[in-house]
Structures are given as structure tokens and as C-alpha cells.
């Protein structure tokens, strides 16, 4: 095997990787309230794309907050730095030919804009995972809203800290009126329409 | 197309990714003096593996210092944090099924050990890119040794800041006596012997 590989010194470009992977590389930036379903949706999307041989990776609280960003707290400055670093890591994954899906509340427009600014056109897609505060609070999968209402957590988005909804997101999915499966389909079809992945991939959803 | 893809909610594990990619995922941590050839070697290795359909990504000063770690300087504390973040990002790439090759001087044993500690067994391989200070200074590709000798740069590794060579690295390549091509071959053969990539890949070097 490997007889067609020959020696030559050079580095691999982002374009080389995209061509080899046979799909684009970009960041799908999910933003929305706690409990809106960002992480569930991101993982379901990644799983579906994985089965379709599309290189996809999810960045969320599970793999970032206890690792890269474990030195950061929840002050304004630290929240800003949290998003900045996630943006920079996303850029590395995009450079590496991957689709990176980020699942963070990322409540402030300015912070999301800064991530958009470090990526090229067609490398950053803001996806608003829309779900009413009432519904998120009803779901309360981690019991955080209850704690926030009891003042056990301070600066909780939607309770005593603002959430700035996207003004012109590339896509909106509504996890209150749509199932996760329907939301994944909406996103995969969006990627097909943009020519970022091969058409037909959404057929199995 | 894509007719064999069916809907199911779950997330993708590291093991799933390794199986799909048909190779292991791990970190090759290059350490060595400035000018020893770490970045050149890392890029040459990544290029060769890329041609062999092995998902590989290089982290080096070019894509880290001006991005993720642009807030860090060269104090002891910042150098430590620099390596910590690179280690954490490496862990994300490993989790994403990639081979990540890091090319940083990383002069301190303690810092390299900390990266080893956050990765699992067979996920961290320390590769000492060995080249004498004399030879590195002769090469001086970025003119940094000259500046360090003229006191224009402080705390420069090998001049007025120590380099702690690895005690038990998984592999040593000597870029003074070996060409880049020979060093790449040594590394690819090492990966084959460990069963981390398919055998035969080194045949083309």
C-alpha cells in the first residue's frame, strides 16, 4: 500500500484539506439560552454528519470549561475571554478542515461578532437556537434556573443577566416548536443549499 | 446518495472517530531548541500523512501565538500558560480523531509533563528534536540568536534561559545528522511499529 505517496516538503493548506475531505470547513456557532437544546442539537448534528463521512467536532461546556478554560470564571471579563478562546480554537479546527459546532450561550452580540471577525466569509454561521425563557425554565435540565431564582447562582443569563438575541443570524431553529430531528434537518439542508456539504446528505433524516 | 444514513440521537465518541478514520488519534509533542527544525519537520510529517489519508494537524507558533495565545507574553507564568493551553487544544484534536503535531520549544520538563498528564496512555508521545546549540545558532533562521546575543531579546532558550532536554522521550530525532526526510521516516516507522497508523505508510519516504 501507499505506493503512490511520494516525498515532497510542503505544508498542507486549508484548501487541500477541504478537497481531501470533500466538504467545506467552517464554524456553526449556536447561541441561545441555557436549556434551549444547543448541546443536544450540536451532538445530534455531529453524529449525523459523522455517519455521512463529514468531519465534524463539537465544542461545548463539557470539553472546554473543564479543560482549556478551566481558569476562567463568570465575570464579564472572563466570559469575554471564554468566547474569544473558543473562537480561536474554532479557527484552528476550520483550518484543519473540520466543521466545528460550538454550543455556548454566548449571550453578548459583541463577543459573537469578534469570533465572526477572526474567521473568513463563509466560515462563520450564527445559528440562533430559539426557545422561550418559559420553556427553557420548564425544562431546566441542569436545575440551574431553579438555583438562579433562589439566588444561589448570580449573573445567570435570562434571569439576572441579559441575553442579546442575534440580529441577523444565518439561520434560526426553534427547538420549542421543532423536534431535535427537525432542527438537524433544517441545518443540514441549509449546508447543502450553501454548497458547503454534498447534496443528498439530508435525505436520511 | 446517503441512503444508508439513518436518524438516531447520540454523540460521536473518540473511538468512533478513530475507527472511521482508520488510524489512532494522539499528540506528537516535539520539543527542542529554536532552529532545531521542529516546525519544518512537523509540517513535512503532516504533509506526508495527509497524502496517506491520515488526519493530521500542526500546532505551532504561526497559528497559536497570533491567535489563541496572543494575550500571552514571555514571563515564566505566561510561558507555562502557553503550553497548558496548547496541551488542552491538543486534547480536543485527539478527541476529534486527529493526530496533532505540536512544534514549540517547550523548554521545561514540568510543563511537558502536565500535558502528558491530561492525555491518556498512548495519546502523548514526546519527540526530542535534537540539534546542538552551535548548529541551531549557525542556522538562526529567524535571526533570534543574534538578537539574543546582542541582548535585544531576553530569556531566550539556550542563551539566557535553560532548555531542559527530555529524560525519557518516546523518540529522538537528530536533525543535525539526519535530513528532514530521514527524520520523517523515523517518526512514521515509529507510528507503524506502535500500531497507531497502518503499516506500509512509510514505504513512500
Alpha helices, DSSP H only, in chain B? 14-21, 38-51, 61-64, 76-95, 109-118, 133-139, 144-149, 180-193
pLDDT tens digit sequence for B161-175: 999 999 999 999 999
pLDDT tens digit sequence for A131-153: 999 999 999 999 999 999 999 99
pLDDT tens digit sequence for B23-73: 999 999 999 999 999 999 999 999 999 999 999 999 998 899 989 999 998
Residue of chain A minimizing CA distance to B66: A88
The confidence band for A85, taking pLDDT boundaries of 50, 70 and 90, is very high
Residues 75-114, chain B, touching A (beta carbon < 8 A): 81, 85, 88-89, 91-93, 95-98
CB atoms within 10 A of CB B171: 19
A150 touches chain B (CB under 8 A): no
DSSP B99-146: EEEEE-----HHHHHHHHHHSPTTSEEEEEEE--HHHHHHH-TTSHHH
Residue A177 annotated as catalytic: no
What's residue B102's pLDDT?
98
B162 touches chain A (CB under 8 A): no
A168 touches chain B (CB under 8 A): no
pLDDT tens digit sequence for B6-30: 666 668 999 999 999 999 999 999 9
Grid cell 484534536 is found at B93
Binding-site residues from annotation of B: 32-39
Closest CA to B148 of B137, B164, B134: B137
The Cα–Cα gap between B40 and B38 comes to 6
The percentage of residues in chain A with a pLDDT greater than 90, rounded to a whole number, is: 89
The Cα–Cα gap between B103 and B159 comes to 20
Asked if A58's CB is within 8 angstroms of B4's CB, the reply is no
Its ipTM equals: 0.94
Answer yes or no: are the C-beta atoms of A103 and A32 closer than 8 Å: no
Nearest to A46 among B12, B20, B93 (CB): B12
The Cα–Cα gap between B173 and B175 comes to 6
What's residue A176's pLDDT?
96
Computed over every residue of chain A, the mean pLDDT equals: 94
The Cα–Cα gap between B166 and B126 comes to 8
The confidence band for B1, taking pLDDT boundaries of 50, 70 and 90, is very low
pLDDT tens digit sequence for B131-159: 999 999 999 999 999 999 999 999 899 99
Asked if A6's CB is within 8 angstroms of B204's CB, the reply is yes
Task: Give the domain A22-199 fold.
Answer: Rossmann fold (3.40.50)
CB atoms within 10 A of CB B119: 18
Q: Which CATH class is domain B21-132+162-197?
A: alpha beta
Closest CA to B163 of B139, B138, B186, B129: B129
The confidence band for A123, taking pLDDT boundaries of 50, 70 and 90, is very high
Domain ranges of chain B: 21-132+162-197
The confidence band for A8, taking pLDDT boundaries of 50, 70 and 90, is low
Closest CA to A59 of A75, A46, A74, A50: A46
The Cα–Cα gap between A136 and A120 comes to 33
* pLDDT surpassing 60 at residue A3: no
Residue of chain A minimizing CA distance to B57: A96
Amino acid at each position: 500500500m501507499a505506493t503512490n505517496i511520494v516525498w515532497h516538503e510542503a505544508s498542507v493548506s486549508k484548501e487541500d484539506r477541504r478537497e481531501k475531505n470533500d466538504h467545506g470547513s467552517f464554524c456553526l456557532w449556536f447561541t441561545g439560552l441555557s436549556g434551549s437544546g444547543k448541546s443536544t442539537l450540536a451532538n445530534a448534528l455531529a453524529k449525523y454528519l459523522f455517519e455521512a463521512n463529514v468531519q465534524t467536532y463539537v465544542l461545548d461546556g463539557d470539553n472546554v470549561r473543564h479543560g482549556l478554560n478551566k481558569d476562567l470564571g463568570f465575570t464579564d471579563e472572563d466570559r469575554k475571554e471564554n468566547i474569544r478562546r473558543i473562537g480561536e480554537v474554532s479557527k484552528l479546527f476550520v483550518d484543519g478542515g473540520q466543521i466545528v459546532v460550538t454550543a455556548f450561550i454566548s449571550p453578548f452580540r459583541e463577543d459573537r461578532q469578534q469570533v465572526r471577525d477572526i474567521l473568513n466569509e463563509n466560515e462563520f454561521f450564527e445559528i440562533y437556537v430559539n426557545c422561550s425563557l418559559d420553556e427553557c425554565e420548564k425544562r431546566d435540565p441542569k436545575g440551574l434556573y431553579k438555583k438562579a431564582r433562589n439566588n444561589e447562582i448570580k449573573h445567570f443569563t435570562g434571569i439576572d443577566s441579559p441575553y442579546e438575541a442575534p440580529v441577523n443570524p444565518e439561520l434560526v431553529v426553534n427547538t420549542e416548536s421543532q423536534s431535535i430531528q427537525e432542527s438537524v434537518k433544517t441545518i443540514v439542508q441549509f449546508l447543502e443549499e450553501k454548497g458547503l456539504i454534498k447534496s443528498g446528505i439530508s435525505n436520511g433524516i
